[in-house]
Amino acid sequence: MKETRTEKPQAGVENGLFEQIINDPQIQAFLALADEHLGVIGYTEHGARHGSRVAKWAGSILHDLGHSSEECSLARIAGYLHDIGNFICRENHGQTGATLLYPLLCKYPMTERQLGLVLSAVGNHEEQYGQVYNSICAAVMIGDKSDVHRSRVRDYDPSRNDIHDDVNYAVTRSQLLVDPNVHEIKLELQIDNNIASVMDYFEIFMERMVMCRNASQFLGCSFRISCNGTSIG
């Protein structure tokens, strides 16, 4: 008798899958360790706060653009998990994280396609090698690269002259806005010019903003930045 394969139920916002995953003890431990390890080598916060922000923005982008609840849920999951590979190594941490997450996520009710979409977004969020293959990838890229804010700086000391700390600490407000009527995704920033300048921001984040532009175009939108009320791009 031929065995009939039963497909797993689809993931969706309504079934609480996101909450199940973010409360998984292994995932919580690995994310905490990833953030701890990056702190040792002087990087900004890459833990639950950053993951939660990226998850929120990635899901909101797709929701506001009219994508399905399934895609929104998968974008939130990938956004929360995208930096987990940092606990193993910083270099190629996206691809490391995707490999690591496969056995961790197989126990949850996702189809193989849904799991693959999450893993592709995790594995392609870095500007050094990331490619936009689908809407989940695009939304996570935009959410990740847009999270610049002083709350990510662990222990700010201006005497260190660390331009990454300076720029992040200078950003007192960051917000992603989606206007589906004009097909535009906009990053609004308020920057304290006494700490860092708008030019400093673009000096270190230009490649990331280009990635956001390309990801936005994949979603059928333009990407704009507003710094201190002035629109750029």
Instruction: Using alpha carbons, select from 193, 232, 192 the residue that is nearest to residue 209.
Output: 232
Domain spanning 13-232: CATH 1.10.10.10: no
| pLDDT for res 130 | 81
Q: What is the pLDDT at residue 128?
A: 79
> What's the rounded mean pLDDT across residues 123-133?
89
- H-helix or E-strand spanning residue 215: helix 198-218
> How do the domains of the chain map onto residue ranges?
13-232
Say whether pLDDT at 197 is over 90. Answer: yes
Strand partners, 231: 226
81, 61, 82, 83: which is closest to 71 by C-alpha? 61
Quickly count: other Cβ atoms within 10 Å of residue 116's Cβ.
Answer: 17
SS3 call for 132? coil
Provide the 8-state DSSP code for 158.
G
- Tell me if residue 83 falls in helix, strand or coil: coil
| 230-232 vs 184-191, strand pairing mode | unpaired
Buried b (16+ CB within 10 A) or exposed e, 16-52: ebbeebbebeebeebbeebbebbeeeebbbbbeebbe
The residues facing 174 across adjacent strands are 189
For the chain, report the end-to-end CA distance as a whole number of angstroms. 62
Confidence of residue 231 (pLDDT cuts 50, 70, 90): confident
Residue 65's nearest CA partner among 225, 230, 215, 233 is: 215
What DSSP element (H or E) covers 198?
helix 198-218
Question: pTM of the prediction?
Answer: 0.91
Q: pLDDT tens digits, residue range 37-83?
A: 999 999 999 999 999 999 999 999 999 999 999 999 999 999 999 99
pLDDT at res. 104: 96
**pLDDT surpasses 50 at 150:** yes
Residue range 75-116, pLDDT digits in tens: 999 999 999 999 999 999 999 999 999 999 999 999 999 999
Q: Per-residue confidence at 15, pLDDT binned at 50, 70, 90?
A: low
DSSP 8-state class, residue 14: G
pLDDT for res 12 = 46
The average pLDDT across 130-142 equals: 96
pLDDT band at 185 (very low <50, low <70, confident <90, very high): very high
Q: Which residues pair with 187 in a beta bridge?
A: 176, 225
pLDDT at 233 over 70: no
